[in-house]
RNA sequence: UCCGGGGUCGUUCAAUGGUAGGACAGCGGUUUUUGGUGCCGUAUAUAGGGGUUCGAAUCCUCUCCCCGGAACCA
C-alpha cells in the first residue's frame, strides 16, 4: 500500500451500511448482535464481484465483533454441483476468510417445509394446479393488475392435502406449485402470489432424492437467515423489490429469534470485465478461455493463477466501499492495488522476453581459453532489504531485450545505441561499439566494450549513465515461456451501451512467447509465487510448470507514453 | 406504462445546512543501479429550472437522464 493509500484509509468515513449497523448497536436492535452471511449458489465459481460481497459481509461482522458464515443457497438441484461447493470454499479461504463453519440452506428444508404447512393452514398459502405459463400470464404487467388464480380460494384443508401429496411425489414435475396468498393487484410484482415450492425431480448434490419439491429463493432465504440468527442480510440492489416479500414471509412465522433485516448495496462492476456467472460459464463452454482458472478470467481462481495477491483484492474492496450508486470502477484502480502490494512483496529477477545477443569484445578469457565467468550478488528487492541478495553469473556473451537497443535512436531514448554507455544492472558499464545485421537489415548482434573499473555497476570517476538495463548471461540462462495477457474485453467501459459483451471478446487476449531467457535459478524455484522481471512487470510462476510465467500486471511504462505522444 | 433505487472532477468514493476533499487516470517537476518505486506540485465536478435560508451537493418543488422489477433462477 502506498502512503497515499495508507493515509486515506483511516480517514475513510463510514459507508451507509456501517453507519446503519453502528446505529443498530447504539439502539440495541438485535440485542446489539451482528451476524451476516455470504450466501452463494453453488452453480459456478466465484469471481471478483463476489469478492466485494465476501469482504462486505465478513469485514462488517469482523468490525462489529459479530460472526459471518459461508452459507450455500442450494435450493435448485438442476444447476448446482458439489464441485462448485468445494471450489467456492477454497476460493473464500484463499481470499483470507474463515470457512471452518459452512452452512447449507438444504439443511433447513424440513423446517422450511413445516413453516409452509403452517402458512397453508392459516390460509396464507395455497396449492395452484396451473402451469408456469398460466401463472405468468395472470401475473399482469407493470401498471396492469394481475388476475387471481382459480385455485386461490381453495380450502386450506384441500391445499394441505395436495401439498403433502406434492411432497410425497404423487404429481409430475411442474404440474403444481405452492403459492403465497398475498395480493394480485400489488404494484410490487414480487407480492403477486409468489411461488414458494415447485416440483422438480432433479438429483440434489446434498439431499439426493429425498425431496421432489424445492423452495424458491424468496421462500428459503429469509427463513435460512432467521434459523441461523442472521441480523443483517446484505445483498445486491436487484433484490431491492424482494425486500417486501422477505419481510412478509418472516412476519407470518414464529421465528426463533429476532427478525433479520435485508439491506441492499450496489454490486461491483469493473471496466473490461464481465461479472455474470452465466456469461463466464459461456466463455468456458465456448472455449474462449481454457477453463474457470484461466488467468484471463475474472474468477478468483483465475486471478490467483495470474498472481493477484488476495490482500490486494481485499484492500481494493475496502477502499471502494459500498454505496447504492450503480457504477463501474476502472480496472486500473484494482491494478494499482496489485502493483502496490507486489512492489513490496515480490522479488526482482532478470529475464529477457525478446532476446538479442550482446557481445563484450574486450571480455577476457581464462587460462584455458574459455571466457571468464564472474558472479555478482544482486539485490532481490530494493523495497525490502530482508529479502537479501542472490548470485548471478556474468560473462562476455549476454542477452538483452531487443527493444533496449536502437541503431538510430530518437532523442528521448536512453538505452543502448552506438557510442552510448549504459549500465548492465549490478555488473558493469558498457559502451556500444557497433552492431551486426542480417541481409534484410535486422539487427542480429550488438557489440560493446565493458569498463573493468566499473565492477558492480558504479564508476570510480563518478560518471553517470542514463539507463540501467537488465540482462542474462547467454551461457547460464534457461529458456522459458511467458504468457502475456490483454484485456479479455475490448470495451465494457463506463457509459458504453453495447449489446452482448461477449461479442466483444478480444480475439488475441493472450500472447505466448517462447524462447524467453530467464535466470537459471528461477527454473529451480517452486511455482505459485510472483516475481518482478525488472522493467517488464510482475510475473506469476506457474504452479505446475516451473518454466512458464503469467504476466500479472505490467509496470507503469513512461517510455511507452513517450512513444505514444511522439 | 406502473413501482422502486440512483445522479458530485475523466472514473470512483467522501462531504448530511457552514472552505466541495481523497484515490485512480492526466499534466509538470524531483529522487533513483528498474523510464519501476518514492516525493513535490497542478488542472478538472454538485444533471437542469424554480423555491426556503444569512448560507444549499445537502431541505422543498418541477423537469431530465440512468439502473432494477412481470422464472416453478438466485
DSSP string covering A381-395: -TT-GGG-EEEEEE-
What's the CA angle centered on A190, arms A186 and A195, to 5 degrees? 115
Residue A295 · residue A306 · CB < 8 Å:
yes
Environment class of A343 (CB within 10 Å of its CB; exposed 0-12, middle 13-18, buried 19+): middle
CA A298 to chain centre: 5
Q: What is the pLDDT of residue A499?
A: 61
- Residue identified by cell 532523442 is A411
Please give the protein residue whose CA is closest to the C1' of the nucleotide B2: A143
Distance A565 CA to B39 C1' (A): 25
Q: What contacts A395, CB < 8 A, 6 or more positions away?
A: A363, A371, A372, A373, A374, A473, A474, A475, A476
Residue A268 · residue A275 · CB < 8 Å:
yes
Please give the protein residue whose CA is closest to the C1' of the nucleotide B74: A217
Nucleotide nearest to A75 (CA to C1'): B74
Please give the protein residue whose CA is closest to the C1' of the nucleotide B23: A5
Q: Is A125 helix (H, G, I), strand (E, B) or coil?
A: strand
Residue A46 · residue A299 · CB < 8 Å:
yes
Please give the protein residue whose CA is closest to the C1' of the nucleotide B6: A325
What's the CA angle centered on A270, arms A269 and A272, to 5 degrees? 130
Distance A561 CA to B43 C1' (A): 20
Q: What is the pLDDT of residue A505?
A: 87
DSSP percent split of chain A into helix, strand, coil, nearest 5: 35, 25, 40
Please give the protein residue whose CA is closest to the C1' of the nucleotide B12: A329
Nucleotide nearest to A379 (CA to C1'): B33
Nucleotide nearest to A464 (CA to C1'): B33
Residue A288 · residue A294 · CB < 8 Å:
no
For chain A, which ranges sit under pLDDT 70? Answer: 1-13, 492-499
Residues of A with a known catalytic role: 41, 267, 277
Strand partners, A197: A178, A215
Which bases along strand B come within 7 Å of a protein CB atom?
1-8, 10-16, 22-27, 33-39, 66-74
Distance A416 CA to B47 C1' (A): 53
Please give the protein residue whose CA is closest to the C1' of the nucleotide B26: A561
Distance A13 CA to B18 C1' (A): 19
Strand partners, A14: none
Distance A243 CA to B55 C1' (A): 39
Residue A545 · residue A507 · CB < 8 Å:
no
CA–CA separation, A219 and A25 (whole Å)? 28
Nucleotide nearest to A412 (CA to C1'): B35
Distance A19 CA to B61 C1' (A): 29
Q: What grid cell was written down for A132?
A: 408456469
What b/e readout covers A221-248, taking b as 16+ CB neighbours within 10 angstroms? bbbbbbbbbbbbbbbeeebeebbebbeb
Q: What contacts A399, CB < 8 A, 6 or more positions away?
A: A352, A355, A356, A357, A358, A471, A472, A474, A477, A517
Max CA separation in chain A (angstroms): 106
Q: What is the pLDDT of residue A523?
A: 80
Nucleotide nearest to A561 (CA to C1'): B35
CA–CA separation, A145 and A143 (whole Å)? 7
What is the phi/psi pair of residue A280, to 5°? -65, -40
CA–CA separation, A261 and A17 (whole Å)? 12
Q: What is the pLDDT of residue A525?
A: 74
In this prediction the ipTM stands at 0.96
CA–CA separation, A65 and A90 (whole Å)? 24
Q: What is the pLDDT of residue A528?
A: 76
What is the phi/psi pair of residue A49, to 5°? -65, -40
Distance A136 CA to B71 C1' (A): 9
Q: Is A104 helix (H, G, I), strand (E, B) or coil?
A: strand
Q: What grid cell was written down for A278?
A: 452465466
The pTM (predicted TM-score) of the whole model is 0.94
Distance A302 CA to B63 C1' (A): 47
Nucleotide nearest to A11 (CA to C1'): B22
Nucleotide nearest to A455 (CA to C1'): B33
CA A450 to chain centre: 47
Distance A558 CA to B29 C1' (A): 15
Distance A261 CA to B20 C1' (A): 34
Q: What grid cell was written down for A57?
A: 459481509
Please give the protein residue whose CA is closest to the C1' of the nucleotide B10: A494
Going by their DSSP bridges, the two strands A195-199 and A213-215 should be labelled as antiparallel
Residue A48 · residue A273 · CB < 8 Å:
yes
Nucleotide nearest to A243 (CA to C1'): B4
Nucleotide nearest to A269 (CA to C1'): B12
Please give the protein residue whose CA is closest to the C1' of the nucleotide B68: A238
Distance A11 CA to B19 C1' (A): 18
- Residue identified by cell 445486491 is A236
Amino acid at each position: 500500500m502506498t502512503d497515499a493509500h495508507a493515509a486515506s484509509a483511516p480517514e475513510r468515513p463510514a459507508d451507509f451500511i456501517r453507519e446503519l449497523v453502528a446505529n443498530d448497536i447504539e439502539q440495541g436492535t438485535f440485542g446489539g448482535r451482528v451476524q451476516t452471511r455470504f450466501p452463494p449458489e453453488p452453480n459456478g465459481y466465484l469471481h471478483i464481484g463476489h469478492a466485494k460481497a465476501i469482504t462486505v459481509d465478513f469485514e462488517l461482522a469482523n468490525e462489529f465483533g459479530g460472526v459471518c458464515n459461508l452459507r450455500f443457497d442450494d435450493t435448485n438441484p438442476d444447476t448446482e454441483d458439489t464441485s462448485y461447493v468445494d471450489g467456492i470454499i477454497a476460493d473464500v479461504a484463499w481470499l483470507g476468510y474463515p470457512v471452518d463453519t459452512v452452512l447449507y440452506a438444504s439443511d433447513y428444508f424440513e423446517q422450511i417445509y413445516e413453516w409452509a404447512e403452517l402458512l397453508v393452514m392459516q390460509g396464507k398459502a395455497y396449492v395452484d394446479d396451473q402451469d408456469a405459463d398460466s401463472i405468468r400470464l395472470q401475473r399482469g404487467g407493470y401498471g396492469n393488475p394481475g388476475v387471481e388464480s382459480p385455485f386461490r380460494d381453495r380450502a386450506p384443508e384441500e391445499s394441505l392435502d395436495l401439498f403433502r401429496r406434492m411432497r410425497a411425489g404423487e404429481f409430475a414435475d411442474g404440474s403444481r406449485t405452492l403459492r403465497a396468498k398475498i395480493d394480485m393487484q400489488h404494484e410490487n410484482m414480487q407480492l403477486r402470489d409468489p411461488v414458494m415450492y415447485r416440483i422438480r425431480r432433479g438429483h440434489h448434490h446434498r439431499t439426493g432424492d429425498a425431496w421432489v419439491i424445492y423452495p424458491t429463493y424468496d421462500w428459503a432465504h429469509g427463513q435460512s437467515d432467521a434459523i441461523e440468527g442472521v441480523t443483517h442480510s446484505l445483498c445486491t440492489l436487484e433484490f431491492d423489490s424482494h425486500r417486501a416479500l422477505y419481510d412478509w414471509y418472516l412476519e407470518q412465522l414464529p421465528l426463533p429469534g429476532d427478525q433479520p433485516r435485508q439491506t441492499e448495496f450496489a454490486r461491483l462492476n469493473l471496466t473490461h470485465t464481465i461479472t455474470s456467472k452465466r456469461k463466464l460459464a459461456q466463455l468456458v463452454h465456448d472455449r474462449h478461455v481454457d477453463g474457470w482458472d484461466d488467468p484471463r478470467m475474472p474468477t478468483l481462481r483465475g486471478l490467483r493463477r495470474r498472481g493477484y495477491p488476495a490482500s490486494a483484492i481485499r484492500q481494493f474492496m475496502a477502499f471502494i466501499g459500498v454505496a447504492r450508486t450503480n457504477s463501474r470502477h476502472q480496472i486500473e484502480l484494482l491494478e494499482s492495488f496489485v502493483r502496490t502490494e507486489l512492489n513490496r512483496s515480490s522479488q526482482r529477477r532478470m529475464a529477457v522476453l525478446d532476446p538479442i545477443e550482446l557481445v563484450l569484445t574486450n571480455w577476457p578469457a581464462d587460462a584455458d581459453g574459455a571466457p571468464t565467468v564472474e558472479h555478482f550478488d544482486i539485490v532481490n528487492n530494493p523495497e525490502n532489504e530482508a529479502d537479501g541478495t542472490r548470485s548471478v553469473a556474468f560473462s562476455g556473451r549476454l542477452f538483452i531485450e531487443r527493444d533496449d537497443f536502437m541503431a538510430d535512436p530518437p532523442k528521448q531514448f536512453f538505452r543502448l545505441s552506438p557510442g552510448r554507455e549504459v549500465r548492465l544492472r549490478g555488473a558493469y558499464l558498457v559502451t556500444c561499439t557497433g552492431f551486426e545485421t542480417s541481409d534484410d537489415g535486422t539487427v542480429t548482434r550488438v557489440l560493446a566494450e565493458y569498463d573493468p573499473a566499473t565492477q558492480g555497476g558504479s564508476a570510480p570517476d563518478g560518471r553517470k549513465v542514463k539507463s540501467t538495463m537488465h540482462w542474462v548471461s547467454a551461457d547460464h540462462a534457461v529458456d522459458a515461456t511467458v504468457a502475456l495477457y490483454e484485456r479479455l474485453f475490448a470495451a465494457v467501459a463506463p457509459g458504453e451501451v453495447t449489446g452482448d459483451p461477449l461479442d466483444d471478446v478480444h480475439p488475441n487476449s493472450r500472447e505466448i512467447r517462447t524462447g524467453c531467457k530467464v535466470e537459471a535459478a528461477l527454473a529451480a524455484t517452486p511455482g505459485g509465487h510472483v516475481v518482478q522481471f525488472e522493467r517488464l512487470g510482475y510475473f506469476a510462476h506457474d504452479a505446475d510448470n516451473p518454466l512458464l510465467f503469467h504476466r500479472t500486471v505490467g509496470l507503469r511504462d513512461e517510455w511507452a507514453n513517450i512513444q505514444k505522444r511522439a
